[in-house]
A and B are shown apart, each in its own frame.
Chain A
């Protein structure tokens, strides 16, 4: 019951946040020079001024910005994202077409980064200043310092071009028409390199934070108490140290979700994955306002939802926090 009330309150709080983001993005995009008509006319190789003016009027772009904003927000409230003149499809159809790929990429990347990062961090902390720790920490530092686009390109060069282990790009083999498990395996093979290049930097974040917090928690009084009770090291680690050390890592997890969305743009473009990130990149170059706004809307919803889930998770794993 309290959770339901809490969820409703959070939902109500989220509405102005999302609206503010949408208004801000809309105005920002209108500040940028050029619009869809410029892009279309550019593709056509030029047109006379009267035609351009007529096109603008047709798209409603001759109205003042405030009126356009008003119309757009009005439509948005009925979940009408408008029409994409580049793709000649409703924006909602394009978005839902692409959402799956991006979600798949993000979920695999985050779970990989979180689980491996936390595990490696914990191992490094337990063997602090040993050879194992040095190797793990150095690896972490390398991942931390390498930008994902560079990592992605190098992976393609090494694993796709030289070794031929993984495909260069795309989400599945074109023209293969796999079904069932074959299809799953095919998609998984396509996702290995993008996931790796997107997640390694986040893995490094979790690794470093986990190592630091485990070292810190291991010094706390209650760990000493548990030791005085006769608990062995494994038990100490699982029940007393990890449980408490995870808290800041979960906080970071929630904070970084939005960063990860940003990273997805780069990775999807490099690996030509048909996801939201790639779509966003195209929409920017083609001045496809409606698609861009739709992506921003979807992303902000996604971030709000994930943060809500993280807060729920946090309240679940930290006994001291009560949802109100």
Chain B
């Protein structure tokens, strides 16, 4: 911050070293980590998965999964006290009281059997002597502060009865109930929609300003960093490679790794528009509808019918990429499932090269499936772990009648096409990293030489640097194979990279469609505008440090 005399440090980590169990990919999860967080300051700890950033939080709270993972060196000082000298009860008295934590998954971070009020109240019960009435008043006050609608009734709600964003607000209320000196936020907004994310980030900032809390914000998302950070520390394989003021690190990264990370953040500059008016329409959806019926079962008696897709129409031309963007529950995934007929639509027409998919009988459909293939979000869950890669890829062609030897030869060629070594063919999916697995998923989709690829959040589960590589691969394959693509994503930055046109969905309807550049420059629908203005770090553009030879 710009204060003349820097406020005292709340947290000082000096040469902290955390050991991993023998047989891990490296001996130390963290090596000689130095980090300081001052009162009222937000320090972002940035790193990709496996960089050890979450274990840093564990080391501070003394909540590492000991004895397998433990601190073997260095000191953590909290308000000047060396935490290693404290007894376990003294440490417990600090946790939730002077230092608090917010976790990534609001879905699972709250006890499903206890009310929201009980769980916030637990913090007060553990750390104060307040009588019941005063505690209740404080809980209500906190719920109000994190702006949960109708606190008096929310206090009695169970976690499953409120939305993901509200659950994260409850987590924050719980963490800040006793005005801690230090708040550790471990990817608190990663699982949320963009609009909710922005609201939560603003809330954290605001409460910080009121309470002067020091925040250690752990994230992998440079957009979020640009949004919230005062200072940034970049972690790679447990080693701190760069730290400094946010503006410095974001705009003039010094270390090669930081530069690569920043360069991998998709810029919000859509590519030059390409002209497809001459190309034939490959896939056409007309007035597609899908309603998930109301259920009267034992467990879901009160569920109302949900209109997931309402009157959706679009054209996809050869070589074109159509992005379908929207928040969770907008129906974008349902659209992708309906056009591939993994789900049966209730109405409308979808034609592939003029042939109707929705009314095709089983035999025709199977033949048509060769022309329209899917890439799924979770490459881990969508590859059969018991099959070798070559079999996974060759399976499709063999089902469609290709002889085994030929299908296997083709699979090996495809692996090369997606930039994997041919040796990968004989291994099993679990031996690969997330990015490599997604390449296998792409190779599998390409095996049948489809005309259309439907990709459902294909890069959402990947780290930014890997994400950039996979996006580049998809763009490259699209050109070479003249593929048309339906690209479903919640991430507008990703959509801006790859899509020629974008359809914005809200509550099952397409509210706006247009060429990417035009849509980004001048959104007309209020929802599109809200989405665009919620992109974290939208005012920051990653500096172009990349000298792309390819």
Contact = CB atoms under 8 A, between A and B. Distances in A.
A229 B122 CA distance: 8
A107 interface: no
Interface in B106-151: 108-115, 122-123, 126-127
The 5 tightest CB contacts between A and B, nearest first, are A324-B301, A229-B96, A230-B96, A230-B95, A221-B108
Contact of B113 (A229, A231, A232, A318): A318
A230 B62 CA distance: 11
B299 to A, nearest CB: 7
Contact of A243 (B108, B109, B113, B174): B113
A228 B178 CA distance: 13
A27 to B, nearest CB: 31
B101 A226 contact: no
Interface residues of A, number: 24
Interface string B298-321: 110110000000000000000000
Interface in A282-324: 317-322, 324
B100 A228 contact: yes
Given A221-B108, A224-B103, A320 B63 contact: no
Interface in A35-82: none
A322 B301 contact: yes
A224 B301 contact: no
Interface of A: 220-222, 224-232, 235, 239-240, 243-244, 317-322, 324
A224 B65 CA distance: 10
Most buried by B among A227, A228, A239, A318: A228
Contacts of B301: 322, 324
Contacts of B101: 225, 228
Contacts of B96: 228-231
A228 B111 contact: no
Interface string B71-112: 000000000000000000100111111001101010011111
A221 B105 contact: yes
B105 A229 contact: no
Interface of B: 61, 63, 89, 92-97, 100-101, 103, 105, 108-115, 122-123, 126-127, 158, 160, 171, 174, 298-299, 301-302
A322 B89 CA distance: 39
Nearest to B123: A229
Contacts of A226: 111, 122
B95 A220 contact: no
A239 B61 CA distance: 21
A163 B301 CA distance: 59
A235 B298 CA distance: 33
A318 B111 CA distance: 11
8 contacts: A225-B103, A225-B174, A227-B95, A239-B122, A244-B112, A317-B113, A319-B115, A324-B302
A319 B113 contact: yes
B299 A222 contact: no
Nearest to B115: A319
Contacts of B89: 232
B126 A244 contact: no
A230 B110 CA distance: 15
Contacts of B95: 227-230
B126 A220 contact: no
Contact of A320 (B158, B171, B298): B158
Contacts of A229: 95-96, 100, 122-123, 126, 174
